[in-house]
Structure 1
């Protein structure tokens, strides 16, 4: 696997005016770059297409990056581990015979930033409404070494069975209460200093389903492919 340049986390290249206390990485399935707030020129209005992400833009760390794969789970390997995915079909990176040579972001944060009592200053978690039984997804996230991984099966345990919305599991909105609960529980603990979390949104994947309680007219312009 091809590695990204080495970086010493404890000695950053730049110093921010306000040090980052928490890290939140949002991954959108199959989203077009020009549909979110970015440096790309676009006919789409980000405030209408992705209003929440647009509202977070001003206080976020900005970068321009391109995907390393047309397959989301492979791109996640690059996002969190700084390595290119294998140039083969499907998620071979998750197989037991293939090792991730680099430590991934959750483990790096956990080992690099320590408290005075030599405890990790970071707690990490990955959230998605998608079930983790698609193409070794569960095995991959075990390799990424998040402290906690919560997915569609955890939604069933929390609220009972809910119908799928799209290809991968329940609607994204069902994962949010579990995410807020994790945040509240960790921030309530005195020893927790920082949170590192990620949310994988799958509702943006084809066939672009709209929840029944959402106004269809508001989004039909962006998802209707009829002439």
Structure 2
């Protein structure tokens, strides 16, 4: 089963404009011009976003963008709560280096509310360092940021710990709560934008091996 984890890009998102350019009535076909904030909706951060080396979104290795993910369920997460290593429970000791880590806080349900961005739960320094030490490939979260967007010092610090340490960040995920179990195949595929600091991405999960999902008749 494939589960879409991506928020639809629309003008409901900040700093997004979708303009018709040609129409079938006037021109014979439909095209549009999209103006998108590089970190709108479900998106991936490149190290260049916080000046953590000259690695841009178009240089994101494909092998980084997909793989096995462990899911931590934190449905009772409070606004502005700082997430620590303790929130990982037993996974803090059993995590397989090189896996992705997805934090299911149900914060995506707050989309459209003021607190969605201003009071988001965030990654604490100890958890950020743990992700680096345990070689988390992608850290995926539901809020639009891993850190307090109203606190520049915290915002810079947490992003730099993760991005400088080789942890790719994907923010703005949805539907983590409907993934069954605590492990899945996860992928987040950004557009290949030259020297991009980040980019909206298409994120999804699969509960079965991907080849089997795409071709149900394939032999197992």
Does the TM-score normalized on the shorter chain lie above 0.5?
Answer: no
- TM-score, length basis structure 2: 0.23
**Structure 1-normalised TM-score?**
0.23
Higher relative contact order (CA 8 A, sep 6+): 2
Higher helix proportion (structure 1 or 2): 1
**Structure 1 or 2: more strand by fraction:** 2
